[in-house]
Structure 1
Amino acid sequence: MAIHFTESELAARRARVCEQLAADGLDGLLIFRQESMYYLTGYDTFGYVWFQCLYLGTDGEFFLLTRAPDLRQAQQTSVIQDIRIWVDRQGADPVAELKDMLADKGLSGKSIGIEWEAYGLTANNGRRLEAALDGFVTLKDASHLISGFRLVKSEAELAYVRRAGELSDAALGEAKRLAGAGVDEGDILAAMQGAIFAGGGDYPANEFIIGSDRDALLCRYKSGRRVLSAQDQLTLEYAGVYRHYHAAAMNTLIIGQPDPAHEEMFQVAHDALQGCEAALTPGRPIGEVFDAHARILDHAGYQKHRLNACGYSQGTTFSPNWMDWPMLYEGNPVVAMPGMVFFIHIIIVNSETGLAQTLGRTSIVGDLKSEPVCHSNPELIVR
């Protein structure tokens, strides 16, 4: 079996969730987020693109409803014993089958939590589910119940985060080695991802961002590659990934002679990153991290060239993205605690001049301060 945590740790996680369900007056939870399933049972799949649901009762009992291709996936990657299969056929109705299973558990008239906010529950399936369970049970939104527990990592999880940080460093090392005039972006991308695979890592939950020239101002992946010019800029956002735990980082590399504006932008980004990491301390609201970001960039005259968030939690995430809850934005009241993990990114993009400068890395909140897990020196990289 390919389970990356001890059965006792997984059982303890489920027990904590069950205690919270009871405290919230709920009799069970319908789980649709793949991250939640992985966290509670080890179940590792991309089968959530079809209808599947993990049910966890307040009494600790749990079962999985999924399709046949994920039967052995669940058997070999999780501690789930009760695996129910809905059959692919014309007129198949897994929602009705789930209702029957809940009825068999004696849940008619009970209050059930549900993860409405989940990539594993499409709007269409959500509407069907809500209609089928109307009058049968009372559904209550519990989308962030498990996310709240996932936010603070165990020592076993933090070991995976630190390994992901090492793989992130390895990826940047390949980019620094290859980047230069006449180099194809695709070769850089292949080498970065190859370093992660060679180190035992995984696919990221979303594509790496790579863009040069004016595409260096983009904050998303797009299809298409170009060859780097003698004078260029190359923005990279990437993540080392180990056992699905991510450690994202971000850099803009300068090809050729740095523009003085690039050098200034880097210094401001460096100061902002240092200020944000200093604000990421236990007992303080994470909104203060964004406050540091905004204060330093705005004071330097970059208010209209920055974003309205400067990062987010990191952990185990599945496609389509590696961003986890919560985000670092103005006024976020979530209080930082030891064991939380955040990716802080400083993104300065000037559409008027066409120049970009980015800098970011992932850190663990420690007992007194934050601990970066990406150890590459935050420097202006010139190739």
Structure 2
Amino acid sequence: MRRAGKIVDQVMSVAIECLHPGMRENNLAGRIMQAQAQGTKDFGGSWPSSVPLVLTGPRAAYPHLPWTEGIIPNETSIAFELAGCYLRYNAALARTVSLGKPSAGLVRLGDTVREGLQAAMSAMKPGVTCHDVWAAWQAVLEREGFGKHSRIGYSLGLNYHPTWLDHTASLRSGEQVELREGMCFHVLCGMWAGDGTKKGEENYTLSETVLVTPTGIETLANFERKLFVKD
């Protein structure tokens, strides 16, 4: 899982570096898949348990969509949900990129999601329930006037297509499954407010794959946690 985390660091770096207006989504996906297979200079990558999710403009309002052959426009946002895979072990990572100057609403939403993700991860340790982790995130959203009542993550690791989930634990309201040392979670704090075309309907996706340790968590990727802006 740690090696998968190092691979997804490289994959996300390639995705953001290669992204530019005017390119086709499928060409960007091709560069991402190349990075997934290449892995790092020390070890190669495997085939992740999900295709690259490249969510552009209005399509960013709908999670889990693969790429299209459409042209990526300027003045839009892109959400990536990508994976690194090593010997069938998957580590996932989500980031959001603004092509052009982001709106004030997107910046505020990004700040809130980042704070909420940190609150959720800070609550994670052995003996804490999945509900407790969700509640820490929810407290930040409620304070800032946002709402998201669906789950914010799930256990993952060794798996095959079409999913990296292992269907044993979900970070959601009411789930009393307790975290245990050695468990891995994809903590996915995505906010999908609309189709992204109207003020107040911005979308923002941010995630980390974490390992539960005796005293808290270890993040398996080491990628900057911010709203990326490309002019």
1:346·1:359 contact (CA, 8 Å) conserved in 2? Answer: yes
Does 2:165 correspond to 1:323?
Answer: yes
Distance 1:286 1:349 in 2: 22
Q: Displacement of 1:268 after TM fit?
A: 0.3
Residue 313 of structure 1: which of 137, 150, 155 is its match?
155
Which protein shows a greater Rg? Answer: 1
Which of 126, 142, 147 is the aligned partner of 1:298? 142
CA contact (8 A) 2:91 2:186 kept: yes
User: 1:358-369 alignment to 2 at 5 Å?
Assistant: 358-369=205-216
How far is the alpha carbon of 1:184 from its aligned partner? 2.0
Residues in 2 aligned to 1:297 and 1:208: alpha-carbon distance in whole angstroms: 28
Contact 2:52 2:83 in 1 (8 A): yes
Matches of 1:380 and 1:298 in 2, distance apart?
Answer: 21
Q: TM-score of the superposition, structure 2-length normalised? A: 0.91
Q: Is the alpha carbon distance of 1:378 and 1:265 closer, same or farther for their aligned partners in structure 2, counting shifts above 3 Å?
A: same
Structure 2 counterpart of 1:367, which letter?
A: P
Residue 181 in structure 1 maps to residue 21 in structure 2:
yes
User: Are 2:190 and 1:343 equivalent residues in the alignment?
Assistant: no
CA contact (8 A) 2:9 2:222 kept: yes
Q: CA deviation at 1:186?
A: 1.7
Answer whether contact 1:364 1:370 (CA < 8 A) is retained: yes
- Asked if 1:168 is matched to 2:5, the reply is no
Per-residue deviation at 1:290? 0.9
- Indicate whether 1:381 and 2:225 are aligned: no
Q: Deviations over 1:340-361 (max 9, x none)?
A: 1001011111115442111001
CA contact (8 A) 1:174 1:188 kept: no
Cα distance in 1 for residues equivalent to 2:154 and 2:86? 18
**For residues 135 and 69 of structure 2, what CA distance do their matches in structure 1 show?**
36
In structure 2, what is the Cα distance between the partners aligned to 1:220 and 1:284?
28
Give yes or no for contact 2:32–2:52 (8 Å, CA) kept in 1. no
Please give the residue correspondences for 1:120-199 in structure 2 after superposition, counting only pairs within 5 Å: 161-199=1-39
Matched residues in 2 for 1:178 and 1:212: separation? 15
Percent identity (aligned): 24
Question: Do 1:207 and 1:221's aligned partners in 2 also have CA atoms closer than 8 Å?
Answer: no
Distance 2:114 2:90 in 1: 22
Q: Which has the higher contact order (CA 8 A, sep 6+)?
A: 2
Show the 5 A alignment for 1:196-345: 196-199=36-39, 200-222=44-66, 224-303=68-147, 306-324=148-166, 325-345=168-188
Distance 1:176 1:224 in 2: 17
Letter in 2 for 1:219: P
Amino acid at match of 1:377: E
State whether residues 311 and 344 of structure 1, in contact with CA within 8 Å, keep that contact through their aligned partners in structure 2.
Answer: yes
**CA displacement 1:335-378 (0-9 Å, x = unmatched):** 11111100101111111544211100100011111110010010
Query: Displacement of 1:313 after TM fit?
Result: 0.5
Q: Give the residue type in structure 2 aligned to 1:227.
A: I
The amino acid across from 1:247 in the alignment is A
Structure 1: 5+ residue runs without aligned partners?
Answer: 1-160
Contact 1:181–1:230 under 8 Å retained in 2: yes
Counterpart of 1:382 in 2: which secondary structure?
strand
Query: What amino acid maps onto 1:311 in structure 2?
Result: G
AA aligned to 1:271 is: E
Count residues in correspondence.
221
Q: Unpaired segments of 5 or more residues in structure 2?
A: none
8 Å CA contact retained: 2:127, 2:180: yes
- For 2:203 and 2:8, how far apart are their aligned partners in 1? 21
